[in-house]
Amino acid sequence: MSKALTKIDRKDAKMVMAHLYVAFVSLAIGGLCGLLQVLVRSGKVQLPAGISYYQILTVHGVILALVLTTFFIIGFQFAAISRTAGTLSNGIRKTGWAGFWTMLIGTVLAATMILLNEASVLYTFYAPLQAHFLFYLGLTLVVVGSWISCAGMVAAYVKWRKANPGKPGPLLTFMSVVNAVLWFIATLGVAATVLFQLLPWSMGLVDRVNVAVSRTLFWYFGHPLVYFWLLPAYMCWYVIIPKVIGGKMFSDTMARLAFILFLIFSIPVGFHHQLVEPGIDPAWKFIQVILTFMVAIPSLMTAFAMFATFELYGRSQGAKGLFGWVKKLPWNDARFTVPFIGMLAFIPGGIGGLINASHQLNAVVHNTIWVTGHFHLTIATTVILTYFGVAYWLVPHLTGRVLTKKMNRLAIIQGVTWAVGMTFMSGAMHAEGLLGGPRRSAFSTYGDAPQALEWIPYQIAQAVGGAILFLSIILCLIIFINLAFFAPKGEEEFPVSEASEHAAQPSPVFENWKLWVGITAALILFAYTIPFIDMIQNAPPGAKGFKLW
Amino acid sequence: MHKYEKIWLVFGIGALIFFLSVIGVSAFYLGNQPPSCLATIDPDKVDQTAPFNEPGLKKVEGKDWDYELVYVAQAFSYTPNEVEIPKGAKVKFIVTTKDVIHGFEVAGTNVNMMVEPGYISEKVATFDKPGEYLVLCNEYCGAGHHMMYSKIKVVENQ
């Protein structure tokens, strides 16, 4: 074993870092908006200068859910491919830069429209609320840019396969390609509604829009979107965390199987976001509910693999008893502890997800702030803490610096404060939601309705939690800036674990893309064709656009 | 596959099948489906179209429910904005919108549905507990979204 660390090529590193700068600037802006929201909703604070709650809410959703995630994921996946499939070719690196600039221009365009208050339509932009056409155009450019980058990732993988015939693709590269393919298929829906419905309509070329079709296309995209966020976190859990703790990956084959299952089952499930809406036959809703539950299976596999890895490592270090291995884990290493907090949050997060998707049970929580509490556990804890845990070694690796002991300690404090803040905020959101408190709403007592007055203490608890989370974001930004510009020069490892020598080679069937994409397409057609035709054949007169903010 | 992994997945998938069976039986045998009305309406002619030309509570005979309660949603109010329902009444809510998408949630009950232009949303509920219920919009509809509400008073029979 050579001791020299495998380093990512400097030019690749520069391209990846460009993505991470945008991601962390987004974190700063989006986090500040989040703080303002919880303060407004506590009823104690009003926004200055006539800024609307809903404008801030639109910024928060767009910049965190769409911009931060997409930039981070594309940067991280390019890094993973460069690390495991070899330095990117000049052509692929240029493709990465082209994708980056396209996305950035799109982001600036959409952000400008939101700041001018021409697009306070939230990140779901449901028609017939009608934003300025430049907002939709900006979002289109973000998606097109991400397509360019994902095409670059696929090209890098194809190149590696040609150079290494008969060998299974490196695991991190394989996983990145699964996520890129998932993204291509998922974004077809949002691209269709924006290009064929919302753009022509907002430009005044057509008067009316079919609302049900637009929502269905959005949610065809909206659920796999959350798996596009989650899979890079799973890449870290499966491949990076075992190396960080000094153990071995549990099973390369099961990891690949889990990713293929995510590809297949994450798309034909969008109706579980539309369970309480008119115009869709409840039997078709139930079919998609079944498919939604299928997507829990690869997460169950992942949970097993993680804890098996931890236990095997602990026992190899001499741990005794049923839970003795817990003590052997490297709790003082932020690269492990911060993502681990994210893993724990996925237990209530996943359970909440099954509740939300449970057909008629959805009516209890639909559009209540319970849902906001749910996805602040999944995306805003599980996924984002894993991203932070990755950034804490990836940024110094890319900038030729090291994560110092001091920064490591600060990073652990960051993770713990996040857990504390989120327990307050998400816990209070879940509780208020069960009492009926709505999501996406500014402070209101609804004419001093007794029920609404009961919600206010929970909103104050959310403000407390949100303020702690904002402090945690500041810590995260301090660490990021330190690692990018000020930390001592040196070599930080890009940890990649290998499968144990005894493990069988993964079957070549996992890289039979025609098979998996074919099954995915077949399931999508099964789940959507008939209800979609119904929606078009039985469509009411379309809706005119409204600008009500 | 590891033996423990098999046990774990059999248990996990078994639990998922159990959950699906419970909600499936509830939906298809007991009839507890989510609101999924398939009727449509011209969103520009809501005021001229029955039953939305006369919003409010109506007693009905010979149906599975005692009353029909018709609402018209528009930014940022519901018509009617206050209704009294006798305790124990089985009420069918019939709702549509004249402009953008709204929510229709009767807080503290399972009446919670999307209201979309061109569509009619329906849900049957029984009110056994007297008191004041808040009806509110839980889908963002514009600047006054959080001011959009109505009230239902469930009163003891005289």
Contact state of A281 with B136 under an 8 Å Cβ cutoff? no
pTM: 0.96
pLDDT at A5 over 80: no
Q: A416-425, A500-509, B3-12: which has the minimum mean pLDDT? A: A500-509
Kindly state whether residue A4 falls inside one of the protein's structural domains.
Answer: no
What lies within 8 Å, CB to CB, of A367 at 6+ separation is A438, A439, A440, B103, B105, B112, B114, B138, B139
What number is the average pLDDT over the span A494-521?
87
- Confidence (pLDDT) at A1: 38
- pLDDT tens-digit map of A468-507: 999 999 999 999 999 999 999 999 999 999 776 666 778 8
Share of chain B above pLDDT 90, in %: 95
> What number is the average pLDDT over the span A502-519?
88
Q: Is residue A389 part of a domain?
A: yes
Domain B43-155 CATH superfamily: Cupredoxins -  blue copper proteins (2.60.40.420)
* Nearest by CB: B24 against A286, A439, A452: A286
CA distance B66 to chain A (A): 22
- Is it the case that residue A110 has pLDDT exceeding 70? yes
> What's residue A500's pLDDT?
64
Quick check: A361 contacting B, CB < 8 Å? yes
- CATH number for the domain including A105? 1.20.210.10
Domain boundaries, chain B: 1-33, 43-155
**Residue A188 φ/ψ, nearest 5 degrees:** -55, -35
| Of A193, A164, A264, A174, residue with least CA distance to A527 | A264
Name the amino acid, one letter, at B135: V
Tokens of A424: 């307050």
Question: What pLDDT digit, counting tens, does each position of B7-51 carry?
Answer: 999 999 999 999 999 999 999 999 999 999 999 999 999 999 999
Which residue has better confidence, A5 or A89?
A89
- pLDDT value at B158 more than 70: no
Residue percentage of chain A with pLDDT more than 70: 99
pLDDT band at residue A31 under the 50/70/90 scheme = very high
pLDDT digits (tens, 9 = 90+) for A147-162: 999 999 999 999 999 9
Residues of A in contact with B24 (CB under 8 A): 286, 359
Mean pLDDT of A368-385: 97
| Residues of A tagged active-site | 223, 227, 374-376, 439-440
What CA–CA distance (Å, rounded) separates A101 from A103?
5
Residues of A whose CB is below 8 A from B138: 366-368, 438-441
Q: Searching chain A, which residue's CA lies closest to the CA of residue B151?
A: A449
Q: What is the mean pLDDT of chain A?
A: 95
For every residue of A157-191, which 3-state class applies, written as one string?
HHHHHHHCCCCCCCHHHHHHHHHHHHHHHHHHHHH
Domain count, chain A: 1
Q: Rounded distance, CA A144 to CA A190, Å? A: 11
User: A185 φ, ψ to 5°?
Assistant: -70, -40
Distance (Å) from the C-alpha of residue B13 to the closest C-alpha of chain A?
7
Range of the domain at A311: 11-500+513-544
Q: What is the DSSP letter of B93?
A: E
